[in-house]
Structure 1
Amino acid sequence: MNFEHLVQVNDPLNPLAETLTRTQLWEGLVLRAEQPQLFVLGLDSCTILSRTADTLERELHYGHATVRDRVTLIPHETVRYDILATESYVGGTLTMTIEQPDALQLFLRFEYATTLPTPDTEDDRQTSEIVKSAYREADIDTVRLIREYARHPKQPDPLH
């Protein structure tokens, strides 16, 4: 299953909306990569197994389930998560790309490519729509949490 959508970060038509800089958005995406338990419901812990200038190898612990992934960072542009499939977890990729069409607008594009099959029955299509909706809500929440972090960057656990 492939799925993508755009979350508007800055809305120049809404003067009440708090704006983020590209740097603040990027710092929030890095925080999400390094401390995903602040962003991902049900994630108990994350162990960073290795780190280079632009990659993280991680082990994510959800109760008794463990998922491994590789995070690739292209500074101030893109974060890509490559998730290894297991017997109990769907593998695939998630790419988050910062888009800034002009000085006032800022967006975050989320692109999912999973090993879930393309739905061919009505039940499968409904399940696919539920998964897409959950992804969309989690991504909107990611932007909300990044705003919280930007508002309180010095706190040790700024999102709680």
Structure 2
Amino acid sequence: MHFEHLIEINDLANPDVPDLTREEVWFGLLCRAEDPRPFLPGLEACEILTREDTMLTRKLDFGQVVIHDTVRWEPLEWISFESRANDEHPAGLLTISLEQPAPETPALFLRFAYRTGLSETVGEDAKYADFVRSAYHQSDVDTVRVIRMIAESTRTE
């Protein structure tokens, strides 16, 4: 299954919601890499196994399911989360890209792009594709909400 969508970060028509900078959004995405518990309901623990300049490997403990993944990034541009398949979990890839159509404006978006082994057209998987897309979208909305909370908590005014 391939699923992709955009979420607008700064609502230029709503002055009541503070704009986030590219740097604040990026910091939130790095927080998701370092400690994904606030972003992933049900995650009990995250252990960083290896660390390089632009890559982490992690062990994610959801209780009954343990997932190993690799996080890679290009600073201020994109971050990807690639999970390895095991008996309880299929392999998958999520790439989150920061998009700013006009650098001189605060317009800012996150593009979420998923690739999984779930079939959208064949067998039992096809029955669940719409549900999975909906769950991914809601998770991504929640990610932006958590990033906004992190940014607001770190601002000094």
Same fold (TM over 0.5): yes
**2:96 aligned with 1:105:** no
Q: What's the TM-score once normalised by structure 2's chain length?
A: 0.93
Listed as ranges, the gaps of 5+ residues in structure 1 are 155-160
After TM superposition, the structure 1 stretch with the greater mean CA deviation from structure 2, 111-120 or 5-14, is 111-120
* Equivalent AA in structure 1 for residue 51 of structure 2: R
Q: What's the TM-score once normalised by structure 1's chain length?
A: 0.91
Within 1, Cα distance between the matches of 2:101 and 2:126? 33
Listed as ranges, the gaps of 5+ residues in structure 2 are none
Match of 1:131 in 2: 132
Superposition RMSD on alpha carbons, in Å?
A: 1.4
Within 2, Cα distance between the matches of 1:43 and 1:7? 24
Percent identity over paired residues:
41
Contact persistence 2:94–2:114 (CA under 8 A): yes
Alignment: residue pair count: 153
TM superposition shift of 1:120: 3.0
Task: Tell me which stretches of 4 or more aligned residues in structure 1 moved more than 6 Å.
Answer: none
TM superposition shift of 1:124: 4.3
| 1:11-35: CA deviation from partner (whole Å, max 9, x where unpaired) | 1112122210000000000000100
Within 2, Cα distance between the matches of 1:107 and 1:101? 9
Secondary structure in 1 matching 2:9: strand
Contact persistence 1:94–1:111 (CA under 8 A): yes
* Equivalent AA in structure 1 for residue 142 of structure 2: D
TM superposition shift of 1:9: 0.3
Within 2, Cα distance between the matches of 1:131 and 1:40? 15
Match of 1:2 in 2: 2
